[in-house]
Amino acid sequence: MSAQPIASAAPEPAAALFSPLRVGAIAVANRIVMAPLTRNRAAAGNVPSPLAAAYYAQRASAGLLIAEATQICPEGQGYMATPGIHAPAQIAGWKIVTDAVHAAGGRIVLQLWHVGRISHTSLQPGGVAPVAPSAIAAKAKTVTTEGLVDVSAPRALRPDELPALIETYRMAARNAISAGFDGVEVHAANGYLIDQFLRDGSNHRKDAYGGSIENRARLLIEVTAAVAAAIGADRVGARISPVSPFNDMSDSAPQPLFEHAVEQLDALRIAYIHVIEGETGGRRDLDFDFAALRRRFRGRWMVNNGYDRASAAAAINTGAADLVAFGRLFIANPDLVRRLRENAPLNALDASTLYGGDAHGYTDYPALD
């Protein structure tokens, strides 16, 4: 009797999560991304805390770290103790972080942030009103030295102010590269300034930046093009949240709006798009065709919102995504990549330490060893 061939073991379904990938100019070791996570721990002058270097280095086994949302200018700040990338001390502070991440073998990009109307006069230079596409106050809150307060009513940006705003994004991208980041992510999600221009619930303008889908997407495309020209499109990503109502956001027809936006971003040949599927940190089962966006983009596709080991592996294995971003799981599990690889138990999150504070709940979550 002839010998029968030995059947090979079926591959572990999650194995694809741990395969390397090139994301534009950035070579990543695996498909697991640490999402940008605001922690409100910046030091005086909105300089990254000395603890931030340890925090990010602990999580450097992620294929890519996306540093917390970082304001591009003083007017872009909407919450207390969030870092900036517009002053020399901030750039120097971030350089300590990126050096620590690179020493640990990681790759890190910076999320460029302008909050628009999600701010308070006490956080604005001179105590003036925050800016927005239209003078429509959001039903939202922010954190100031007085605690949780309603955001302030904004004023509408004048058309002649927009070129300078775009230049501010470009300079922030260059500052990020000077600080040692491997790239940047344009924050166009979660109800902040660019998202406010995109969606007609917050944009009632009558000029070239309002009205039609093409006009409302204009700022996103012009900002991204300027950033790409400054540092290279292969080091640029963009984050979108087509149907998230976070920060009092809405749009009458999100599907055609974001299909157009993605097509325009694709034409810029940026490295990736990072999409929040459903409500930010909430429901995923909203009426929207995310696959239609995926088909319109030739770069890397990053998904986010409530993924676990099994659903992340399925997204990679089916081609629904190239990368999966994890948020709160990374806060509580600095060695999340190892835990996912070994299917090990996860640390529980202490929600009371998410925002503000010191090392507790920031750099003291235990690794497996």
- Just list the catalytic residues: 192
Q: Alpha carbon of 213 to those of 122, 189, 198, 255: distances in Å? A: 34, 16, 8, 11
The amino acid at residue 12 is: E
Q: Alpha carbon of 111 to those of 38, 267, 289: distances in Å? A: 11, 21, 25
Cα gap 29→108, rounded to integer Å: 12
What values do phi and psi take at 125, rounded to 5?
-55, 130
111: left (phi over 0), alpha (psi -120 to 50) or beta: beta
Task: Provide Rg for the chain, Cα atoms.
Answer: 20
Cα gap 330→320, rounded to integer Å: 22
Burial class of residue 366, CB neighbours in 10 A (0-12, 13-18, 19+) = exposed
